[in-house]
């Protein structure tokens, strides 16, 4: 019964949601439906007004964002929030850092009291992640010099660099061209084939219908439908919610 009020405004109300491990789970709904609010609650950037959240039986309420990252929950933001004046590699090492519980300064400035083996491990892991998303050759470039599509890949890679079990992606295909979107679809499917869970917010219905196992539809902070793509496609309430917000 997850609920979030902002000054009496109900951004999310009595939401019951159980994302199955190993699935690709889409959250859809018109602008302002509460989708990003939901991710901010799960990742600990906001506290719920009511309701409880669990990850594999562990209660998340009250845990700090970095504790949730350490548990295996990673998030990418609708507006990316990368460090533009740092390199691709450095952006990922910041992500890795939460998981291995060392301070940012130690990773970036190689202070001597940090065991080298741990740093080496982080470097190797992060490079594997960059290779996976196709950015290894660009690891030393400043993020601000990359195209928007590549910056989105950095954001995905940064989430993967925390070695998560579940990845929350807020509008991963927004701003991508069709080639980039189909590349992304393939990456996401591979991530799930490798045992991870993906929960993503998306407005691109072709993408949602193509890759999702399950879809939850929010409207004005309330769940109005849930099911596999075949069922949701035909759901009239969903279509109405969308017709009301076409831009």
Ligand X SMILES: Nc1ncnc2c1ncn2[C@@H]1O[C@H](COP(=O)(O)OP(=O)(O)OP(=O)(O)O)[C@@H](O)[C@H]1O
Q: How far, in Å, CA of 74 to CA of 169, rounded?
A: 8
Query: Of the ranges 31-39, 91-99, 144-152, 207-215, which one interacts with ligand X (CB under 6 A)?
Result: 31-39
Q: How far, in Å, CA of 46 to CA of 230, rounded?
A: 33
Which of 3, 5, 17, 32 is the binder for ligand X (CB under 6 A)? 32
Q: Give how far the C-alpha of residue 170 lies from the chain's centroid of Cα atoms, to the nearest Å.
A: 5
171 phi/psi in degrees, rounded to 5: 55, 60
Q: Where is 177: in which H helix or E strand? A: none
**Which pair of tokens denotes residue 86?**
């740092």
User: Smallest distance from the beta carbon of 40 to Mg ion, in angstroms?
Assistant: 9
User: Which residue lies nearer to ligand X by CB, 114 or 203?
Assistant: 203
- Phi/psi zone of residue 224: left (φ > 0), alpha (ψ -120 to 50 degrees), beta? alpha
User: Which residue lies nearer to Mg ion by CB, 100 or 159?
Assistant: 159
Which of 36, 40, 69, 219 is the binder for Mg ion (CB under 5 A)? 36
Residue 37, binding choice from Mg ion, ligand X, none, Cβ under 5 to 8 Å by partner class:
ligand X
Q: How far, in Å, CA of 184 to CA of 156, rounded?
A: 10
Q: How far, in Å, CA of 69 to CA of 2, rounded?
A: 20
76 scored as a contact of ligand X (CB under 6 A) = no
Which of 37, 76, 162, 181 is the binder for ligand X (CB under 6 A)? 37
Name the maximum alpha-carbon separation found in the chain. 61
User: Which residue lies nearer to Mg ion by CB, 163 or 204?
Assistant: 204
User: Which residue lies nearer to ligand X by CB, 72 or 172?
Assistant: 172
Residue 32, binding choice from Mg ion, ligand X, none, Cβ under 5 to 8 Å by partner class:
ligand X
Query: Of the ranges 34-42, 50-58, 88-96, 181-189, which one interacts with ligand X (CB under 6 A)?
Result: 34-42
User: Smallest distance from the beta carbon of 171 to Mg ion, in angstroms?
Assistant: 7
Query: Strand 222-227 relative to strand 73-76: parallel, antiparallel, unpaired?
Result: unpaired
C-alpha distance across the termini of the chain, in Å: 31
Distances in Å between the alpha carbon of 148 and those of 45, 128, 153, 176, 198? 25, 22, 9, 8, 22
Q: Give per-residue burial for 151-166: e unless 16+ CB within 10 Å, then b.
A: bbbbbbbbbbbbbbbb
Q: Please give the size of the binding site for ligand X, defined by CB under 6 A.
A: 11
36 scored as a contact of ligand X (CB under 6 A) = yes
43 scored as a contact of ligand X (CB under 6 A) = no
Which of 35, 139, 152, 158 is the binder for ligand X (CB under 6 A)? 35
232 scored as a contact of ligand X (CB under 6 A) = no
151 scored as a contact of Mg ion (CB under 5 A) = no
Binding residues for Mg ion, rule: CB under 5 A, are 35-36, 78
Binding residues for ligand X, rule: CB under 6 A, are 6, 11, 29, 31-37, 78
């Amino acid at each position: 019964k997850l609920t979030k009020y902002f000054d009496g405004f109900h951004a999310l109300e009595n939401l019951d949601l159980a994302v199955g491990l190993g699935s690709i789970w889409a959250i859809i709904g018109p602008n302002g439906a509460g989708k990003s609010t939901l991710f901010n609650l799960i990742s600990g950037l906001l506290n719920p007004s009511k309701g409880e959240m669990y990850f594999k039986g562990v209660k998340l309420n009250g845990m700090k964002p970095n504790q949730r990252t350490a548990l295996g929950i990673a998030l990418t933001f609708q507006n990316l929030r990368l460090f533009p004046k740092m390199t691709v590699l450095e952006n990922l090492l910041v992500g890795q850092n939460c998981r291995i519980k060392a301070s940012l300064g130690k990773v970036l400035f190689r202070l001597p009291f940090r065991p080298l083996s741990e740093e080496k491990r982080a470097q190797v892991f992060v490079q594997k992640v960059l290779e996976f998303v196709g950015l290894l050759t660009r690891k030393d470039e400043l993020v601000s010099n990359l195209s928007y599509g590549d910056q989105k890949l950095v954001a995905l890679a940064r989430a993967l660099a925390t070695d998560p079990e579940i990845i929350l992606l807020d509008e991963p295909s927004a701003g991508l061209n069709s080639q980039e979107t189909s590349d992304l679809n393939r990456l996401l499917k591979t991530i799930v084939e490798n045992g991870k869970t993906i929960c993503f917010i998306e407005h691109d219905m072709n993408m949602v219908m193509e890759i999702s196992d399950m879809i939850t539809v929010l409207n004005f902070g309330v769940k109005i439908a849930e099911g596999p793509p075949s069922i949701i496609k035909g759901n009239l309430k969903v279509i109405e919610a969308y017709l009301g917000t076409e831009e």
